[in-house]
Structure 1
Amino acid sequence: MKKWLKPFKYAAIAACVSLGATAVQAEKLGYPEKEELKFGFIKLTDMAPIAIAYEKGYFEEEGLYVTIEAQANWKVLLNGVIDGSLDGAHMLAGQPIAATMGFGTKADIITPFSMDLNGNGITVSNEIWEQMKPHIPKMADGRPVHPIKADALKPVVEKYKSDGKPFNMGMVFPVSTHNYELRYWLAAGGIHPGYYAPHKGDISGQIDADALLSVTPPPQMPATLEAGTIYGYCVGEPWNQQAVFKGIGVPVVTDYEIWKDNPEKVFGITKQFAEKYPNTTIRLTRALIRAAKWLDENNNANRPAAVKILSQPNYVGADYDVIANSMTGTFEYEKGDKRDVPDFNVFFRHNATYPYYSDAIWYLTQMRRWGQISEDKSDDWYKDMAKKVYRPDIYEKAAQSLIEEGLMVSKDFPDFSTEDGYRDPQTHFIDNIVYDGTKPNEYINKFSIGLKQGQKL
């Protein structure tokens, strides 16, 4: 891949008849104001669009020379983007939202690109699994009926409480999708996951909790489970499948079963970066869109090649077979109980890369439900906050330019002439509660467990 010439060199070449198509496209899109970039990620399979954009040369085709570095944990990663040591990063969807509204830290972070749908699971230890099994319906062949609801865990948690033992579970970060998915699953089964009360200085998230949730970095989940510090966890791949391979735990439910085609990670940059380097922002978004399409195209035909890349130690660093177990359209629950889950990882289908306002609003509703947002907010507040963080306007510019160049086609994307940033009401939740992103307060009031309008701890 040839290095791009600097803009002033293009000016000199412009007079030449041999000016190439690449330069013409560069002129139309605008040269990248910043060419050398450093992106951060956590060792999870859903960082794949960044790895593929690098390995397939999509970043370089945009004139971007990218360094990719694994980060120790989500807090370190977020701080790196805020202080500028990272230009952008693979982020939890809740991180840009929480930072913008000032929960935990205060910074204006935006996302022009949603990285994937689904991809997480909830795993319990072998001991807890054995206690759950009597409460789970069986199929004719003796295997458990899926999805497994937290109803089967409730008597186990109640026994621990009656014996005076805390029931500890792990999630990866207070504003992570995993925290909200684990809480959603537990509450749907009648298990209270606890409240936050930041206005009282209590950010433990364990007020009134039946199950006590705490933070564990993703790669450390299996070892923490094996040590008995936690009895279960919610994490992204490959760390659920790792528990199966090591024989230390059983994934009981995937986030696809909790909320079908739920939004997962995003690519986060500061608002300042996007404003200072608008062409660079469009170009990195183009590269990520192309990578996402490559990951899903031809019915996931490229997934084995992607798994080989991700298994490298500089990316996820888990064994090929562990990553492939979920990345190639299957998911293994108990050892030997491997089932087809073709949409366990979605990177491009179902408009996965489009940053929908309604996705941001769902996370905000869960922040309010569990007390991270202490007081009532109007529906307009939720919508305005979503628009500060999720930037479909940037995404659309990137997508339209790809269409104009013939690298993508219109049907690959939402209809930009009518798209308003809100998905149709979503019905595929494990508790059958319908989510309409245009009515956040009405949605919050539907839950039997969780704060409602007018409630404050």
Structure 2
Amino acid sequence: MKKVYNHFLLRLSAFAALMFLLSQCGSKKSETTAVEVSDATSQTVQLDIEKPELTFGFIKLTDMAPLAIAKELGYFEDEGLFVTIEAQSNWKNILDRVIDGQLDGAHMLAGQPIAAGAGFGRQAELVTAFSMDLNGNGITVSNDVWSKMKPNVPVDADGKLIHPIKADALAPVIDEYKKSGKPFKMGMVFPVSTHNYEIRYWLAAAGINPGYYTADNIQGQVDADVLLSVTPPPQMPATLEAGTIYGYCVGEPWNQQAVFKGIGVPVTTNYDIWKNNPEKVFVMTKDFTEKYPNTAIAITKALIRAGKWLDTPGNRPEAVGILSMPAYVGADSVVIANSMTGTFEFEKGDKRSMPDFNVFFRYHATYPFYSDGTWFLTQMRRWGQIPESKPAEWYSETIKDIYRPDIWEKAAKLLLAEGYLSQDEIPVTDGYKPASSDFIDGTSYDGKDPIGYINSFEIGNKD
């Protein structure tokens, strides 16, 4: 197959820089294997596809991996879909292009379709039937800030820094900046990004006010101890190096890039802030799913298969090679491998095992749980993006219009019949996870009690 052969050649060039890693983690697949992956799909039963030619968007982050894998391994083609994947410049652009119909779907921040349906920012009827990953983000500070933070971080008996590192270690540094009349500035990727809510959560858990959104202050900086601003993910390291910001929250590989370049130190990950938190989602318009229902199911099928492949032991080195291709993330393969292969490097040389830093399938990661979406709504209310109090019923009604486990379940049942999934890989759920206190401050979250959760915080709006 000419297409598979061409993909193999591209993959081969990306793998050249990764030979040392692959020699330890497993060898790359040969051309013959790549053809077998594409050809061994006779059990796929194609639906009656209403729109076979599709264009999807993504931002250059490692968590776009399910899209790259579904394309490169032929999972989209198995479903009768001919997909073009295009990198986009920023999150606003990707949102606008999906709403305007220029993209049929996209890798998006989980908060984007939720905000579009909840009244913050540009309004539209968007849906997600597929959660792309869990975890995957980090918070990095400049070398100068780290030198001031580090003495405040407790160490163990061997003198090794104790993780997770809380923002308590940053508080005295912020006070020092305040006394010198210098505002403390940090970056995040978008107002409704997981990164915005995670860095706010981390700061507020240490008594540091990250600021509120109001009608007159759409930057979210009212009463702020730290001034948060938007920077596109690939520009984070350069912005930090230029001194425009002193730290940031972003997805990979842009925390590891700071370590690689020697310009900053990651101090915590979002796995530590909220264990196995939802991250990106795949988004389509509600109109698309209604006009092309079989196409929406087929897309979801291909992405579920990609997620499972990514979490199958031994496949990550090949995934790193694919992601390092210029058409996808395009970062150095060694930088991508730092987090994608089960480790995470904090201070240079302090590489720690983090097998769950990037999760694409385990723990039912691909299922769009209502409780995951509801958490984003609570944070929008907590920080003022939702300006008025809402009843508990509003939260459940709003999220059920946006998160579509019904589409996921149709796709999963077909994959079960085709032999791609087992029964235990399909969750038995009402859409809500059990209450959990797996947060850096130990606060318990129950998606069925959003008001109680909002009111449990010392810093934040109360209802």
TM-score by length of 1: 0.92
Kindly state the Cα deviation for residue 202 of structure 1 after the two structures are TM-superposed. 2.0
Match of 2:379 among 354, 366, 389: 366
Kindly state the Cα deviation for residue 204 of structure 1 after the two structures are TM-superposed. 1.0
Structure-2 residue corresponding to 1:414: 427
Matched AA of 1:225: L
Kindly state the Cα deviation for residue 35 of structure 1 after the two structures are TM-superposed. 0.3
Checking the alignment, whether the CA contact within 8 Å between 2:43 and 2:418 is kept in structure 1 is no
Where does 1:80-229 land on structure 2 (aligned, <5 Å)? 80-197=97-214, 200-229=215-244
Matched AA of 2:62: T
Match of 1:356 among 369, 380, 384: 369
Match of 1:393 among 389, 403, 406: 406
The 3-state SS of whatever aligns with 1:380 is helix
Structure-2 residue corresponding to 1:450: 460
Alpha-carbon distance between aligned partners in 1 of 2:387 and 2:53, rounded to the nearest angstrom: 41
- 2:287 is the counterpart of 1:272: yes
Kindly state the Cα deviation for residue 297 of structure 1 after the two structures are TM-superposed. 1.3
Could you list the runs of 4 or more consecutive aligned residues of structure 1 that deviate by over 4 angstroms after TM superposition? 21-24
- 2:448 is the counterpart of 1:438: yes
Matched AA of 2:99: I
Structure-2 residue corresponding to 1:17: none
Matched AA of 2:45: Q
Per-residue CA deviation, residues 154-178 of structure 1 (Å, 9 max, x unaligned), is: 0110111111111000000000000
Structure-2 residue corresponding to 1:25: 45
Alpha-carbon distance between aligned partners in 1 of 2:152 and 2:45, rounded to the nearest angstrom: 61
Count of aligned pairs between the two proteins: 426
- 2:59 is the counterpart of 1:42: yes
Matched AA of 1:41: F
Matched AA of 2:284: I
Structure-1 residue corresponding to 2:439: 429
Alpha-carbon distance between aligned partners in 1 of 2:158 and 2:187, rounded to the nearest angstrom: 32
Would the alpha carbon gap of residues 24 and 257 (structure 1) be closer, same or farther in structure 2, given more than 3 Å must change? closer
Structure-2 residue corresponding to 1:253: 268
Alpha-carbon distance between aligned partners in 2 of 1:43 and 1:407, rounded to the nearest angstrom: 28
The 3-state SS of whatever aligns with 2:311 is helix
Alpha-carbon distance between aligned partners in 2 of 1:67 and 1:50, rounded to the nearest angstrom: 10
Kindly state the Cα deviation for residue 134 of structure 1 after the two structures are TM-superposed. 1.2
Matched AA of 2:452: E
Kindly state the Cα deviation for residue 23 of structure 1 after the two structures are TM-superposed. 9.9
Structure-1 residue corresponding to 2:34: none
Structure-2 residue corresponding to 1:312: 325
Kindly state the Cα deviation for residue 427 of structure 1 after the two structures are TM-superposed. 1.4
Alpha-carbon distance between aligned partners in 1 of 2:322 and 2:76, rounded to the nearest angstrom: 16
Alpha-carbon distance between aligned partners in 2 of 1:326 and 1:374, rounded to the nearest angstrom: 37
The 3-state SS of whatever aligns with 1:430 is coil
Alpha-carbon distance between aligned partners in 2 of 1:437 and 1:414, rounded to the nearest angstrom: 17
- 2:334 is the counterpart of 1:321: yes
Kindly state the Cα deviation for residue 102 of structure 1 after the two structures are TM-superposed. 2.7
Alpha-carbon distance between aligned partners in 2 of 1:239 and 1:202, rounded to the nearest angstrom: 28
Structure-1 residue corresponding to 2:11: none
Alpha-carbon distance between aligned partners in 1 of 2:122 and 2:100, rounded to the nearest angstrom: 12
Kindly state the Cα deviation for residue 22 of structure 1 after the two structures are TM-superposed. 5.7
Aligned-residue CA RMSD (Å): 1.3
Alpha-carbon distance between aligned partners in 2 of 1:391 and 1:421, rounded to the nearest angstrom: 10
Alpha-carbon distance between aligned partners in 2 of 1:451 and 1:408, rounded to the nearest angstrom: 43
Match of 2:417 among 404, 412, 430: 404
The 3-state SS of whatever aligns with 2:271 is helix
Matched AA of 1:451: N
The 3-state SS of whatever aligns with 2:103 is coil
Matched AA of 2:322: I
Would the alpha carbon gap of residues 206 and 24 (structure 1) be closer, same or farther in structure 2, given more than 3 Å must change? closer
Would the alpha carbon gap of residues 45 and 24 (structure 1) be closer, same or farther in structure 2, given more than 3 Å must change? closer
Matched AA of 1:126: N
Alpha-carbon distance between aligned partners in 2 of 1:167 and 1:143, rounded to the nearest angstrom: 28
Per-residue CA deviation, residues 3-34 of structure 1 (Å, 9 max, x unaligned), is: 9xxxxxxxxxxxxxxxxx969933xxx31100
The 3-state SS of whatever aligns with 2:326 is coil
Match of 1:59 among 52, 58, 76: 76
Alpha-carbon distance between aligned partners in 2 of 1:106 and 1:211, rounded to the nearest angstrom: 29
Alpha-carbon distance between aligned partners in 2 of 1:336 and 1:313, rounded to the nearest angstrom: 28
Per-residue CA deviation, residues 100-154 of structure 1 (Å, 9 max, x unaligned), is: 1231101111000000000000000000000001111012332211000000000
Per-residue CA deviation, residues 22-71 of structure 1 (Å, 9 max, x unaligned), is: 69933xxx311000000000000000000000000000000000000000
Deviates more, 1:153-162 or 1:350-359: 153-162
The 3-state SS of whatever aligns with 2:380 is helix
Alpha-carbon distance between aligned partners in 1 of 2:341 and 2:433, rounded to the nearest angstrom: 27
Q: Which runs of 5+ in 1 are unaligned?
A: 4-20
Structure-2 residue corresponding to 1:284: 299
Q: Which runs of 5+ in 2 are unaligned?
A: 4-40
Would the alpha carbon gap of residues 191 and 65 (structure 1) be closer, same or farther in structure 2, given more than 3 Å must change? same
Kindly state the Cα deviation for residue 244 of structure 1 after the two structures are TM-superposed. 0.2
Percent of aligned positions that are identical: 69
Alpha-carbon distance between aligned partners in 2 of 1:278 and 1:36, rounded to the nearest angstrom: 15
Kindly state the Cα deviation for residue 255 of structure 1 after the two structures are TM-superposed. 0.2
Alpha-carbon distance between aligned partners in 2 of 1:226 and 1:23, rounded to the nearest angstrom: 51
Structure-2 residue corresponding to 1:13: none
Would the alpha carbon gap of residues 296 and 23 (structure 1) be closer, same or farther in structure 2, given more than 3 Å must change? closer
Kindly state the Cα deviation for residue 426 of structure 1 after the two structures are TM-superposed. 1.2
